[in-house]
């Protein structure tokens, strides 16, 4: 096909689309009738336009089928992502030109989104598996509830044995500074300890200031209460699909994946969180080990819902065997029975 007249080429495209004014359209029609090259160009554009319209109609049906499949897959993995993809889909499908240009791209993009979501779910499932199968764990636990001081304890868990050392407190409440000074003076790493053996159903409380002890037998109800402090057991209630990957960080040379959880059932706390600041549970996961490096639970645990409470788990060690003496229920030398 010969080239159309340079001055007429752009107008011919508008002519075929029917967007020229009547006067311009009539003038151009006269020229087309007398110019073989422009006449061929018009026919070619009309053929292309007809094919595009046919493709568009077919695409409507194909895209509807693909949309249903994408929606089904997204809904399985993440309702949040589903909402985002649907809004994008509606914008694309409103415009025939955009629809044609994006036909292949939207399917690929949707598959990538599904892959990312599915990968996120699979990755967090591995985190849960690793935590539940951990042979031992230690971590630092800080919690701030209402106007109380932020108490800090070091926790050790190995099988059915647990040890909780109260190592300090943060805040400006009266008496805390004296507590810290006294611990330093006595060279104490903890001012109280609780040691429990859930298999033997025995526990012992130690007061390191007074050098006293108290032994207890644990009934089923008490064991269940202590289980609420066992982070390993609590991870059994977390579902992989409840975790949304929201980013990644680099900490001390380690690649960390960051997850957001809104459905919380941990440390005896059950809540549906909004995901906004002050109402969320964030889990930082070491990518190399697929184990938590830090967990922060932010919520209001009071009936009034006015306080900003938080519980932080940090300084994790995983699968490192502890000295059995750490969980010993033998009374330390120099300790006397606590007075009732």
**Tens-place pLDDT, residues 60-111:** 555 555 555 545 554 554 455 445 444 444 444 444 444 444 444 444 444 4
- Give the angle 155-156-160 at the CA atoms, nearest 5°: 125
Domain boundaries, the chain: 6-127, 137-337
Give the burial class of 242: count Cβ atoms within 10 A of its Cβ; 0-12 exposed, 13-18 middle, 19 or more buried.
middle
Task: Specify whether the CB–CB gap between 190 and 167 falls below 8 A.
Answer: yes
Strands (E), 53-134: none
Is the pLDDT at 144 greater than 90? The verdict is: no
Q: What is the pLDDT of residues 304-339, one digit of tens each?
A: 545 577 888 999 999 998 999 999 999 999 999 988
What is the residue-wise DSSP string for 72-91?
HHHHHH-HHHHHHHHHHHHH
Count Cα atoms within 13 angstroms, Cβ side, for 257.
19
Our CA angle for 311, 221, 326, nearest 5°, is: 60
**Averaging pLDDT over each range in 40-44, 118-122, 226-230, which range is the top one?**
40-44
**Rounded Cα–Cα distance for residues 170 and 32 (Å):** 87
How far apart, in whole angstroms, are the C-alpha atoms of residue 142 and residue 195? 19
- How far is CA 34 from each of CA 5, 6, 14, rounded to the nearest angstrom? 12, 15, 19
Instruction: Check: pTM over 0.75? Answer yes or no.
Output: no
Residue 299 confidence class, pLDDT cut points 50, 70, 90 = confident
DSSP string, 199-228: TTTEEEEEETTTTEEEEEE--HHHHHHHHT
User: Which CATH number describes the domain made up of 137-337?
Assistant: 2.50.20
């Amino acid at each position: 096909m010969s080239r159309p007249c340079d001055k007429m080429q752009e107008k011919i495209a508008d002519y075929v689309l029917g967007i020229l004014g009547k006067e311009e359209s009539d003038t151009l029609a006269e020229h087309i009738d007398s110019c073989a090259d422009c006449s061929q160009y018009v026919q070619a554009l009309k053929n292309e336009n007809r094919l595009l319209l046919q493709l568009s109609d077919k695409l409507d049906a194909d895209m509807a089928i693909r949309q249903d499949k994408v929606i089904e897959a997204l809904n399985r993995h993440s309702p949040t992502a589903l909402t985002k993809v649907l809004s994008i889909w509606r914008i694309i499908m409103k415009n025939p030109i955009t629809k044609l240009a994006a036909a292949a791209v939207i399917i690929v993009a949707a598959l990538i989104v599904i892959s990312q979501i599915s990968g996120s779910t699979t990755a967090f499932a591995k985190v849960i598996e690793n935590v539940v199968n951990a042979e031992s764990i230690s971590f630092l636990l800080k919690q701030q509830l209402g106007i109380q001081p932020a108490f800090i304890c070091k926790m050790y868990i190995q099988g059915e044995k647990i040890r909780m050392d109260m190592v300090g407190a943060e805040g400006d409440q009266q008496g805390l500074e004296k507590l810290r000074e006294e611990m330093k003076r006595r060279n104490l790493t903890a001012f109280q300890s609780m040691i429990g053996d859930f298999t033997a159903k025995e526990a012992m409380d130690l007061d390191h200031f007074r050098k006293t002890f108290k032994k207890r037998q644990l009934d089923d109800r008490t064991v269940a209460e202590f289980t609420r402090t066992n982070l390993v057991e609590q991870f059994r209630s977390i579902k992989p699909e409840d975790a949304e990957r929201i980013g990644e960080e680099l900490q001390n040379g380690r690649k960390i994946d960051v997850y957001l959880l809104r459905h919380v059932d941990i440390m005896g706390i059950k809540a549906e969180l909004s995901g906004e600041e002050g109402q969320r549970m964030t889990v930082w996961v070491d990518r190399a080990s697929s184990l938590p490096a830090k967990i922060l639970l932010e919520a209001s645990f009071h009936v009034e819902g006015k306080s900003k409470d938080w519980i932080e788990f940090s300084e994790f060690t995983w699968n490192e065997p502890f000295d059995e003496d750490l969980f010993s229920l033998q009374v330390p030398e120099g300790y006397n029975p606590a007075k009732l």
